[in-house]
Amino acid sequence: MTLLPCRRSRARLAALVAALALPAAALVPTAPVAHAADEPHPFEVFRNCPAAQMLAEADDASTSCVTAVVTGGTFVIGNGTVPVTAQSVLSLGIASVGAGEKTFGTPGKVFTSGPMQVPGGLLGVPGLERLLPGLTDVTATVELATTELPQIDILASIYGGEVVALPVKIRLKNALLGTNCYIGSNANPIVLHLAMEKAGSFEFVPVGEAGSLIHARGGVVVDRSFAVPAATGCGVGGLLNGVVNSRQGLPSPAGKNSAVLDQDAYLGGPASQVLAFQQG
């Protein structure tokens, strides 16, 4: 296999390359690029890519790994604004199966995210989050709110439009709220229709003799039109639902909420090369 994967996988990368007007010399380097021992492997971003799943169902030449990493930004939900201080990572695989294209995901690893501090905490007063640690401070963690795999439009990263529709719920947590306090649920999720607002810059990276990836760096995806349901499950028997909803202004209709997210995205493969890295 050459540096650009064949069939649909090649088509994905070739379309990106053509749109970016990369020089032909960049696509066929004369020698593999060496990576310093202390540098992370380029395929580290595909640690959770379902490479083995794809190889079990699809021809290796048609496979690609896709990773999107939210690195910053802000969520405005009702009355509150939460800066994005923890990375969220979406990890998928795409391959040709039969006459169509199929999305793959590793259970429990399709979407991962860390907790973020909510400014103002439970009291809603900036600066008093740490007044009573564990009681007044609140963390928010974004979780996937579906068992279905999100579908990504890779070329929207260049040409604009919706990149992904992502159903999510937000877990609020402290000692009083407990561990089952959520804004949104699998049955009533917050659905983010994230569209590319800024494409950022693109880099083609050859990996070893047979692998490659494209890194889209510094993009911005946005949704300013989603609705947010009321919180549920907060405190014993939901006794604090009203406190959270009053503090946050929930439920909040479409038009009063926004997500502006800084993003790095990666497309690469083939699955055989990613699997070799994962097992190495």
The 10 Å CB-count burial string (b at 16+, else e) for 103-120 is bbbbeeebbbbeebbbeb
Strands 178-183 and 139-144: unpaired
C-alpha of 215 from chain center: 14
Tokens of 37: 């021992």
**What is the average pLDDT across 199-208?**
91
CB neighbours of residue 260 within 10 Å = 17
Q: SS3 sequence, 160-191?
A: CCEEEEEEEEEEEEECCCEEEEEECCCCCCEE
DSSP at 43: G
**What is the average pLDDT across 264-273?**
96
pLDDT, tens digit (0-9, with 9 covering 90-100), for 33-75: 555 556 899 999 999 999 999 999 999 999 999 999 999 999 9
First to last CA, the chain: 20
pLDDT at position 138 is 93
How much of the chain is in helix, strand and coil states, percent to nearest 5? 20, 40, 40
Please report, for the chain, the start and end positions of each structural domain, with discontinuous segments joined by +. Answer: 7-279
> How far from 96 is each of 62, 202, 214, 259, CA to CA, in Å?
6, 25, 19, 32
pLDDT, tens digit (0-9, with 9 covering 90-100), for 80-89: 999 999 999 9
